[in-house]
Structure 1
Amino acid sequence: MQLRQMAVAFLLNERREMLFLQKKSTSAFLPGQLVPIGGHMEGEEISEPKRACLREIEEETGLAEHALAGLELRYIVHRIKDESEIRIQYIFTGEVQSGSRLMESDEGRLMWVDCGNVLNQRVTASTKEVVRHYLETGIHNHTTYIGTMHGLQGQAAMSWAVLEDWESRGSL
């Protein structure tokens, strides 16, 4: 079984819209779908997911770190794909500074989607579950959550837990 690690960002603007990349219809990975900004981590980035996320943001949008505010790790999602691959996705949230200019990449078209409309778009089940949780719970705090993707009554579902260092809280 292989292990694949990814770092992505859900970036918001002042109008409460999220930035997505619509993959080209000819893409080998998720053709035509809306995906958060990000991608696979390089070998030297495995212990630094934020570094990978910043690299991917700049590659896909042209935005440098100074154009972002509050970029923080908010979710770690685990899932198994085709019984042959375990995927670990480090998901950051942040804001694009007003007046920042986006540059398209050759991977697809950048689109701002109203937060309330994301769940109606052509996105993966895991993206829907993260966005749903973020809008219901995560947007109100700075907690980091860990999610495990699974099936529930024939539908995709995510189980959530708070990621915390319980030892430092005196709970031994």
Structure 2
Amino acid sequence: MEVRQMATAFLFNQDNVLMMKKERSKIFDFEFWGGIGGHLEYEELNHPKLASYREIEEETGFKKSEIKNFRLKYILIESGSGEIRQQYVYFGDTEHTNYISSDEGELFWIHKNDLLSLHMSKIIKFTIEHYLHNPNSEHIYVGIITTSKEQIPSIQWSMLEETSTF
């Protein structure tokens, strides 16, 4: 089984979030919405935050210096198509709304109240929903998506905490 590591960012400008609409991907063969991001390069495997900054600049033109309060909020894990997908999800703020066009998809500023009505992967929808209910949490959450016998997806959240085990 292979491991696919990715970094995704959601950038806020007041109550709006920069979202990307894509026609399709390696996983989905239909139009869907997501954050800004992509796969970690080999030299970034131990530095997903750097990968996230790189993806943001490539896909939006935003520089690291233009993003405030940028922090890891979620680590998502799911299995499918013979691989384990691990995704580091960051949230940050911007002071302006100017972005460059991207070959990866179309960018739009979407009001946070409209996010959950967008067609997106289940794991990202669960993540955005959790974030909107816990916007001021300082914790990092690990989310593992599962599917019931009836093929209904759900997510299990755990707070990531430092432990001292011997």
TM-score in terms of structure 1 length: 0.89
Structure 1 runs of 4+ aligned residues shifted over 6 Å read none
The percentage of aligned residue pairs carrying the same residue is: 34
Superposed CA RMSD in Å reads: 1.6
- Structure 1 unaligned segments of length 5 or more: list them: none
Which one is further off, 149-158 or 32-41? 149-158
Q: Summarize deviations over 1:32-67 as a string: whole Å, max 9, x none.
A: 211110000000000000000000000000000011
Structural mapping, 1:45-124, within 5 Å: 45-82=44-81, 84-97=82-95, 99-124=96-121
Question: CA–CA distance in 2 between the matches of 1:114 and 1:166?
Answer: 38
| Secondary structure, aligned partner of 2:100 | coil
Output the CA distance in 2 between the equivalents of 1:12 and 1:29.
26
Once residues 139 and 116 of structure 2 are traced to their aligned partners in structure 1, the CA distance between those partners, rounded to angstroms, is: 22
Unaligned 5+ residue runs, structure 2?
Answer: none
Q: Does 1:158 align with 2:155?
A: yes
Does the CA contact (< 8 Å) of 1:63 and 1:100 recur in 2? no
- 1:26: Cα distance to partner? 6.0
> Is 1:39 equivalent to 2:35 in the alignment?
no
**Superposed displacement of residue 166, structure 1:** 2.3
2: distance between equivalents of 1:134 and 1:12? 12
Task: Give the distance between the partners of 1:79 and 1:86, measured in 2 at CA.
Answer: 6
Q: What's the offset of the Cα at 1:29? A: 5.0
